[in-house]
Amino acid sequence: MDGKTAPQMRHFNPYSDNGGTILAIAGQDFAVIAGDTRQTVGYEIQTRYAPKVFRLNDKAVLAVNGFAADGNMFVKKVKQKLEMYRHAHAKDMPLRAIARLIQTMLYAQRFFPYYVYNILGGIEEDGSGAVYSFDPVGSYERESCRAAGAAQSLVQPFLDNQIYFKNQQPIPGGPPHPVHLPLSRVIALVTDSFTSATERHIEVGDELEMFIVLSRSHPQQSLDPRLNATEVSTTASGEKVFVIRRPLKRD
């Protein structure tokens, strides 16, 4: 080998993949946004607790997944803009406006993108539960459920089957498939999605962090005490935000 002819350099790659998975499901008058807390690079577990899901205000929660440095920086900038909006307008930015803000911020970096998949969940101004999902350069749409990250290919087909009832026939003569599922069912689906993804994907595990946003029109304004949820909303009159933390397998 001749070391003199070509300049030998280690090319610098400004990105890495930090694993993990996020997931959000919208109900009629609530939204659930969840993610695991493991942060990896390659086969190495960097830490067992690095949050990927963030409360933005009392009606919006943002989950970020992909390159952790970009993700943290992006969330920081979104929070800064939301704070400036609050100072200017004396109210929280509505969910659909946050979604458009995120698309603008992502597309602004079109030629050096944030390597991050975003899922925004929360309550719209009409009180309905909503989920917005984004690609790294800002394409987005409103959906009722979305998984992203390392185990997207494991979780999304399960969601298509259990939420959208794909490949399921309703019982002949029986009731049609429901359009919206109740909160208890959604929490069970999210928990099962993550325990299953943990079993089959090495980059998923350690802890499940699940945010639940309840619309003011939701019949119950508190959660079943057996869920062991912590309330993190800031006002008594607005939407309610709760966090549930569950252990996942650590191997």
Q: Which of 10, 91 has the CB closer to other proteins?
A: 10
Among 87, 89, 90, 112, binds other proteins (CB under 8 A): 112
Kindly tell me which residue out of 63, 68, 131, 186 binds other proteins, with binding defined by CB under 8 A.
68
150 forms part of the interface with other proteins (CB under 8 A): no
Distance CA 236, CA 248 (A): 32
Least distance CB 137 / other proteins (angstroms): 17
Distance in Å, CB of 169 to other proteins, minimum: 47
Q: Which of residues 35-64 bind other proteins (CB under 8 A)?
A: 39, 41-42, 44, 46-50
List, in order, residues 6 or more apart from 159 with CB less than 8 Å away: 23, 25, 145, 146, 147, 189, 193
Q: What are phi and psi of 76, to 5 degrees?
A: -60, -45
Residue 248 touches other proteins, criterion: CB under 8 A: no
Nearer residue to other proteins within complex by CB, 115 or 242: 115
The minimum distance between CB 6 and other proteins, in angstroms, equals 9
Nearest CB to other proteins, comparing residues 4 and 87: 4
Decide: is 227 part of the binding site for other proteins (CB under 8 A).
no
191 binds other proteins (CB under 8 A): no
Q: Does 111 bind other proteins (CB under 8 A)?
A: no
* 196: helix, strand or coil: helix
Tokens of 120: 């925004």
Q: How far is the CB of 149 from other proteins (least distance, A)?
A: 16
| Footprint (CB under 8 A) of other proteins, residues 72-91 | 72-73
**Three-state SS letters, 74-106:** HHHHHHHHHHHHHHHHCCCCCHHHHHHHHHHHH
Tell me the closest approach of the beta carbon of residue 174 to other proteins, in angstroms: 49
Amino acid identity at 90: A
x/- contact string, 5-34, with other proteins (CB under 8 A)?
Answer: --xxxxxx-xxx-x----------------
From 3-11, 127-135, 174-182, 240-248, give the range in contact with other proteins by CB under 8 A: 3-11
Coil/strand/helix, residue 124: coil
For residues 219 and 135, what is the distance between their CA atoms, to the nearest angstrom? 34
Nearer to other proteins, 18 or 198 (CB): 18
Q: What is the DSSP string of 225-241?
A: GGG--EE--S-SSS-EE
**Class of residue 139 by CB neighbours under 10 A (exposed 0-12, middle 13-18, buried 19+):** exposed
Q: Which amino acid is located at 9 in the chain?
A: M
Question: CA dihedral in degrees (137, 210, 47, 65; nearest 10)?
Answer: -10
Residues that bind other proteins (CB under 8 A): 1-4, 7-12, 14-16, 18, 39, 41-42, 44, 46-50, 67-69, 72-73, 112
